[in-house]
Amino acid sequence: MEKTRTVGVAMDFSPTSKVALRWALDNLINKGDQIILINVQPPQAHHTRKELFEDTGSPALVPLEELRELNFTKQYGIARDAEVIDLLDTAWKTKGVKAVAKVYWGDPREKLCDAVEDLHLDSLVIGSRGLGPIKRVLLGSVSKHVMTNASCPVTVVKAKQSSYSRH
């Protein structure tokens, strides 16, 4: 019997992060695995939860049932996304995947690397916005930083070509 794994997916609810989630569910997640949606709120976000849990992220893993609730949206300032909930529901029904979420506040490059350690991820999947060379120099590439610094395998899913690279 194969060991179940814990796979993180960087989720900002953008089209690119949804492509990464779909890719992970279709190509990486096996029966019984756990998937953790990792949402990183910007450091300037002013929210009561941020003030309490800025250093460690949300206090617990939020189960799929709570992701559906309006209360979760109010608590963390994250809009409910029917498409993401539907993808996770389907994975739960077809593969028995346990889906949870964790919210962090700060620089996504650092917080995603922190999440790998904190959550003991076996793998991380992240979408790539495909910044051009000038924007990448000015803004920095989250996916490149995470691939270089994360302590687990990282899969970067490009939205346009649906291709990926592995580290």
Tens-binned pLDDT, residue by residue, of the chain (167 aa) = 568 899 999 998 889 999 999 999 999 999 999 999 999 887 766 555 545 555 566 667 877 877 777 666 667 777 778 899 999 999 999 999 999 998 888 889 999 999 999 999 999 999 886 555 554 444 457 888 898 899 999 999 987 644 444 44
Read off the tokens for 134: 């000038």
The pLDDT assigned to 125 comes to 96
**Domain spans, the chain:** 6-166
Characterize 146-166 residue by residue with b for buried, 16 or more Cβ atoms within 10 angstroms of its Cβ, and e for exposed. Answer: bbeebebbbbbbbbeeeebee
Q: Cβ distance 5 to 30 under 8 Å?
A: yes
**In the CATH hierarchy, which top-level class contains the domain 6-166?**
alpha beta
The pLDDT assigned to 128 comes to 82
The kind and range of the H/E element at 29 are: none
Which pTM was predicted? 0.82
Q: Cβ distance 105 to 54 under 8 Å?
A: yes
CA-CA distance, 125 to 118, in Å (whole number)?
A: 16
Helices and strands of the chain, counted as H and E runs = 8, 7
CA-CA distance, 156 to 162, in Å (whole number)?
A: 10
CA-CA distance, 41 to 78, in Å (whole number)?
A: 9
